């Protein structure tokens, strides 16, 4: 896993109906707090992370706090080639 994997995950909307975090925001708990890890259904949208067990929400996203505003959208991941 890389330190910027969360950016690739957050490039997608969370498909979980209980979360529905838009692209550019971390996943949320049922109480509206930033989740400690991204939902499995969301990080499986990234082929390179599909078999990963968890993708943690980094400290910069302040896990465990109430998300009061939408965070800026992450820049698209560049493809090395």
Closest CA to 36 of 24, 18, 54, 49: 54
The answer to whether 55 and 14 are in contact (CB under 8 A) is no
Residue 45 token pair: 């949208």
Residue 27 token pair: 């996943």
Which tens digits make up the pLDDT trace of 13-62?
999 988 889 998 899 988 889 999 999 999 999 999 988 888 988 888 88
Which tens digits make up the pLDDT trace of 58-77?
888 888 888 665 555 555 55
Letter string b/e over residues 30-59, b meaning 16 or more CB atoms within 10 A of that residue's CB: eeeebbebbbeebbbebeebeeeeebebee
Q: What is residue 39's predicted lDDT score, i.e. its pLDDT?
A: 93
Residue 55 token pair: 């993708």
């Amino acid at each position: 896993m890389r330190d910027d994997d969360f950016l690739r995950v957050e490039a997608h909307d969370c498909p979980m109906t209980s979360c529905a975090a838009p692209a550019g925001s971390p996943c949320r708990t049922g109480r509206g707090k930033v989740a400690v890890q991204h939902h499995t259904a969301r990080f499986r949208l990234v082929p390179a992370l599909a078999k990963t067990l968890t993708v943690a929400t980094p400290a910069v996203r302040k896990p465990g706090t109430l998300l009061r505003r939408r965070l800026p959208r992450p820049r698209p991941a560049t493809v090395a080639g």
